[in-house]
Amino acid sequence: MMDASKYKVGYFPVSKEYNKWVEKDHIEKAPIWCSVDMRDGNQSLVIPMSLEEKLEYYKVLLQVGFKEIEVGFPAASETEYEFLRTLIDNNMIPEDVTVQVLTQCREHIIRKTFDACKGAPSAIIHFYNSVSVAQREQVFKKSKEEIKKIAVDGAKLVKKLAAEYEGNFRFEYSPESFTGTEPEYALEVCNAVLDVLEPSETNNVIINLPVTVEMSMPHVYASQVEYMSENLKYREFVTLSLHPHNDRGTGVADTELALLAGADRVEGTLFGNGERTGNVDIITLAMNMYSHGVDPKLDFSDMPYLVDEYEKCTRMHVYERAPYAGALVFAAFSGSHQDAIAKGMKYRAKNKLHQWNVPYIPIDPKDIGRTYDADVIRVNSQSGKGGIGYLLEQTYGYNLPPKMREHFSYLCKDISDHEHKELKPDEVLNIFEENYLNLTNGVTVTDFEFMRDKDNVKIGITFAKDGEETEMEAEGNGSLNAINNALRAYTGAEYTLQVFTQHSMQGQGSQSVAASYIGLEKEDGSMFWGAGTDTDVVKANTKALLSAYNNMIKGGN
Ligand SMILES: CC(=O)SCCNC(=O)CCNC(=O)[C@H](O)C(C)(C)COP(=O)(O)OP(=O)(O)OC[C@H]1O[C@@H](n2cnc3c(N)ncnc32)[C@H](O)[C@@H]1OP(=O)(O)O
Ligand SMILES: CC(C)C(=O)C(=O)O
Ligand SMILES: [Mg+2]
């Protein structure tokens, strides 16, 4: 048995006056984004990225459009150090991009960090120390004053070295484990750091409030952020940054609410890679904004490429249900969803809509490089006529009459159910072709000729069965009626031609092909379906009729 008494609330809510964020209902503009994939993401990998992998990943981040990138922890390893030197020595930092590096507040580590950053055209020196109750008591075994001193000494040293070293430096301070810290104390430490760094118009300082470990519900963090935003000194020269992790699975919610609460900047990673359950997923955040009509200022128009690069460089896997990026996130297998999507897509096309509001699909998959054919309507035993019919029509051009769609969809569902597998579009087509289209395994027609007489059509027709040909004559009020009458006379079968539809479809080259669908009803109400295609409309009808008839004598499909 689990024992909940082992746990208690370990965070510190702020006064209820810091809840003005609740009045806003969506994020109105993109924050400053900072990718921490190559630092926080990298430090969580089983095998951290090599220099080459880091270089490849860095290029991907530039393509996405990040202007601030935490490229590593230079004091951690030779690879981390060399990576930064490679970027600087080979002029690989674009003019509008700032690289960021992380350091503990320890002198030799800070010095090594500056060595790595020497000559950087633009770099953020990000220093941190833990300030939470747990870390003060258990790890550092220091008083509040002593912990504050670590931060203040760190600030003094980075300021001094920034003046000594060649390069263009900005500063970021993180009260690490902020979420386990009394907010008043976190504020006191941050303000002490700011007093050292002296933010100004030309010296903007970043204060980053990490959800190092997610401990509370998102609204608690939002109010803590609002409290900090309203009480930080030098606020107009401070960029207030967020750095949520995802231990409770609500990193995205933390970030969204904290942005409403006044934060300016977000640190996170692609696909939420990062320590334990990960850092906040920037793709989800950005795409959530996009789905509200807000330009996120990041480019995710080729998501499949990003997934490939991410999986290659990190050796991680993008979960099939990862928002926006997962392989299955636009897929509808279930009948009622497919039906609504198919109708929504048709409605959209018919009304030439710009605004996207197709049921069940939050954004247009094409916006991020996904396709309708392969990604959206997927067929298994949970599928229905709406979706299966739509797939056959969109992918192969066959627009079945409603009752035939239903019949066809049950055929597909049964096959999927019994074989216990998904049916790919080409398998759905095969089922259609094998069961309905141009069937010749019974009665066939080898020749026919029409004679028109006012409203009447006369036909001379040759049927074949088991190698034996029979010539027949018949008449009707149209060509299909005449052929049907001939067939009934030839076979003696009792049925009614109940359903007939036809449409043209693009055939090979410039030739237009007719597709016909026929439903024959027996006295007991059972229906038998057939389809025919031909460049000649009458031949298409004849093939559909014979296919339906052949299904009837077979006892159905
Ligand atoms: C929440 C985060 O993601 S924080 C970032 C964490 N990332 C990493 O640690 C990855 C890279 N780190 C490393 O490669 C190594 O930890 C190094 C190179 C930075 C330091 O290595 P080492 O000195 O060998 O080890 P380690 O990190 O365990 O040092 C622990 C000591 O530093 C102190 N310390 C830890 N963090 C800090 C800090 N931010 N500021 C000041 N002192 C710190 C600890 O209290 C401890 O002190 P003690 O020696 O008095 O017990
Ligand atoms: C170093 C800090 C910002 C960090 O990664 C965290 O607290 O999660
Ligand atoms: Mg982190």
- 407 and 481 belong to one structural domain: no
Asked whether residue 222 falls in the same domain as residue 262, the answer is yes
**Residues sharing a CB contact under 8 Å with residue 419, sequence separation 6 or more, in sequence order:** none
The angle formed by the CA atoms of residues 412, 418 and 421, to the nearest 5 degrees, is 75
Take atom 11 of ligand 1 and give the residue whose Cα is closest.
Answer: 76
CA distance 173 to 186: 11
DSSP 392-461: HHHHH-----HHHHHHHHHHHHHHHHHHTSPBPHHHHHHHHHHHHBT--SS-EEEEEEEEEETTEEEEEE
Q: Return the H-helix or E-strand segment holding 530.
A: strand 527-534
pLDDT value at residue 37: 98
Looking at residue 169, which CATH number applies to its domain? 3.20.20.70
CA dihedral 210, 211, 213, 216 (to 10 degrees): 150
Do residues 216 and 247 make contact, with C-beta atoms less than 8 angstroms apart?
Answer: no
> How many Å apart are CA 83 and CA 73, to the nearest integer?
10
**3-class DSSP assignment, residue 34:** strand
Note the pLDDT tens digit of each residue in 502-537: 999 976 555 789 999 999 999 999 999 999 999 999
Q: For ligand 1, is residue 104 a contact (CB within 6 Å)?
A: yes
Do strands 444-453 and 68-72 pair parallel, antiparallel, or not at all (unpaired)?
unpaired
Tell me the CA–centroid distance for residue 39 and ligand 3, in Å. Answer: 9
Token code pair at residue 124: 């953020």
Q: For residues 27 and 55, is the Cβ–Cβ distance under 8 A? A: no
- CB hemisphere CA count around 385 (13 angstroms): 11
| Chain mean pLDDT for the chain | 96
Give the residue from 44, 96, 29, 2 showing the smallest Cα distance to 314. Answer: 44
Residue 326: inside a domain: no
- Site residues for ligand 2, CB cut-off 6 Å: 40, 102, 128, 174, 176, 208, 210, 212, 243, 245
Between the CA of residue 32 and those of 269, 287, 436, what are the distances in Å?
Answer: 13, 15, 58
Q: Do 111 and 56 fall into the same domain?
A: yes
Task: Say how many Å lie between the CA of residue 126 and the centre of ligand 2.
Answer: 10
Q: Whose CA is nearest to atom 26 of ligand 1?
A: 104
In terms of domains, do 395 and 511 share one? no
pLDDT of 251 reads: 98
DSSP 69: E
What mean pLDDT do residues 314-340 have?
96
What DSSP state is assigned to residue 365? G
**Angle (nearest 5°) at CA 19 between 15 and 25:** 165
Minimum CA distance residue for ligand 1 atom 50? 140
Instruction: State mean pLDDT over 358-372.
Output: 96
6 assigned to some structural domain: no
> Which of 45, 84, 104 maximizes ligand 1 atoms within 8 Å of its Cβ, making it the mutation to test the pocket?
104
Tens of pLDDT, residue by residue over 164-196, are 999 999 999 999 999 999 999 999 999 999 999
**Could you report the per-residue pLDDT of 84-143, keeping only the tens digit for each?**
999 999 999 999 999 999 999 999 999 999 999 999 999 999 999 999 999 999 999 999
Q: Are residues 448 and 537 both part of a single domain?
A: yes
pLDDT of residue 498: 98
* Judgement on whether residues 261 and 361 belong to the same structural domain of the protein: no
pTM: 0.93
Is 3 inside a domain boundary?
A: no
Residue 109 CB–ligand 1 contact under 6 Å: yes
Q: Residue 304 in 3-state DSSP?
A: helix
Nearest ligand to the CA of 279 is 3
Q: Which atom of ligand 2 is nearest to the CA of 36?
A: 5
Q: For ligand 2, atom 2, which residue shows the shortest CA distance? A: 176
Output the pLDDT for position 139. Answer: 98
Per residue in 229-270, pLDDT (tens digit) is 999 999 999 999 999 999 999 999 999 999 999 999 999 999
Same domain, 261 and 297: yes
Whether 378 and 236 share a structural domain: no
238 Cα to the center of ligand 1, angstroms: 26
On whether both 94 and 220 belong to a single domain, the answer is yes
- Comparing C-alpha atoms, which of 330, 262, 185, 189 is closest to residue 31? 262
Complex-level ipTM: 0.98
The protein residue with its alpha carbon nearest to ligand 1, atom 15, reads 76
Our mutation pick for probing the ligand 2 site, out of 100, 126, 172, 176, counting the most ligand atoms within 8 A of Cβ, is: 176
Number of domains in the chain: 3
